[in-house]
A and B are shown apart, each in its own frame.
Chain A
């Protein structure tokens, strides 16, 4: 048989099998996302989404960011330190925080993380550092609008993986920070259309409403967020629950009730916050502030 004919036959066979298998796989995956990207890249698009999300973090740090080689070396050093500490019954070096924060003005990387490059290992390494970003700066320090450079990567991450909630929440955070409130709201709505049960997106959207003094809408969406949180998190074991977000939802509810003049309701929400907060004495102070007629705007 001619090789061309064999190739054509194989192509026809592949096409036939694909038309038969593809719908079944689609049903088995339980996904109703039939965008061109999903059809073209399958679940591989999530890898790209993660890459673009990390890229936004690289931009936030103005390019000063550990490569995967640095991260592996750091992990090895960390393991060695822990082993040495265990051997000598000494406390290991402080655990570093996860890197999935929003990098606001309260961004708090420790010194060790800043200095992932360490001292130059040799003269070649020392010379090479003239050609790379070797100083730790945040992009917003370069100007009030410099943070906008982060946005394309978050938009791309959201396009590649519409179920990656962080892309929307971090993007909306920066858009609001840049004063682009309408765009932040539109971006969150887009995320909510694709993830209708996400309480994180509802929390952020409520903030947009609150910022434009639409307190009724803010209260409604935060209540819905609280309901969704209960539906999704109550069944989980206590230590697996997303308590960081629920504390924010509850605080937001207390804040909006205080704004609407419902002081008793605000106090009720703060009492719930008190149960989950690691700093109950701080919540007691807020309860006193609400009772004294303050608006909780600083929290």
Chain B
């Protein structure tokens, strides 16, 4: 566990040194504050549109941070040739993968926490109430969904030849899941036939990142968020899916030649 944590802490330090997060946070804050300064019929307590915009930006930024941080990890180790002394420590390939995963996931979580604190402050300053429990549930589910995204990006960095292609494909897959997955069963039922059955199969196979994404609407419209059991079920699903993807990544990585 110490080895895994050591690798993860290196990834964390790397994210603190890089400027990606700071740039994305400043852009999100700037856009939200500019939109917040717009005069909507002299009413300063309208918050729905601001929460919606801010949550959308948080989702985009979190996906960019998670995917871009994860996708370049193994490539960078290979390109700098630091992977050889690292594996000679001795560090197993499974530990390397787990360390990279943990580092990227925690780094994404820390960035996400700051984004959610910003959201809570902005929304609270307008609405004058602080549903901390709702924000916490949304944050935890969002972070859980990011675990699946990070694991997929790690798997992609073993399959695809370059970080750019991995990032692009991971981003398209994540956006596709978020946008199409909740409706795939409706489309499958309407399509019928072999194609419909195929769509239904995909509907059950694909990870439900959209659950965490949909929470946005519940927050925007001040609806009650899912309870402990439902949120726990979703987190269990994310954990299981992450474990599955990481296992697949390890199976591919353990016999992969490391020369670039």
A contacts, CB < 8 Å to B:
59, 62-63, 67, 69-70, 72-73, 76, 121-122, 124-125, 127-128, 130-133, 135, 139, 142, 145, 148-149, 151-153, 155, 175, 180, 183, 187
Are B48's CB and A59's CB within 8 A? yes
Of listed B221, B223, B233, residue having the most chain A CB within 10 A: B221
Complex interface: stretch among B17-25, B69-77, B168-176, B178-186: B178-186
Are B43's CB and A148's CB within 8 A? yes
B183 to chain A, nearest CB (A): 4
Complex interface: stretch among B2-10, B99-107, B150-158, B208-216: B208-216
Check if B190 is an interface residue, CB within 8 A of chain A.
yes
For the complex, count residues of B whose C-beta is within 8 A of A.
Answer: 35
B198 to chain A, nearest CB (A): 16
Q: A131-B215, A133-B217 are in contact. Are A155 and B48 (CB under 8 A)?
A: no
A81 to chain B, nearest CB (A): 14
Are A72's CB and B49's CB within 8 A? no
Interface of B is mostly: helix
Are B187's CB and A152's CB within 8 A? no
Check if B42 is an interface residue, CB within 8 A of chain A.
yes
What are 10 sample pairs from A and B whose C-beta atoms fall under 8 A apart?
A: A73-B187, A73-B190, A124-B185, A125-B185, A127-B233, A130-B230, A131-B210, A151-B43, A152-B46, A175-B41
Interface string of B186-218 (1 = CB under 8 A from A): 110110000000000001100010111011011
Are B230's CB and A155's CB within 8 A? no
| Smallest Cβ-Cβ distance to A156: which chain B residue | B49
Which residues of A have CB within 8 Å of B222? 142
A260 to chain B, nearest CB (A): 31
B101 to chain A, nearest CB (A): 25
Q: A59-B48, A128-B208 are in contact. Are A151 and B40 (CB under 8 A)?
A: yes
B41 to chain A, nearest CB (A): 4
Check if B240 is an interface residue, CB within 8 A of chain A.
no
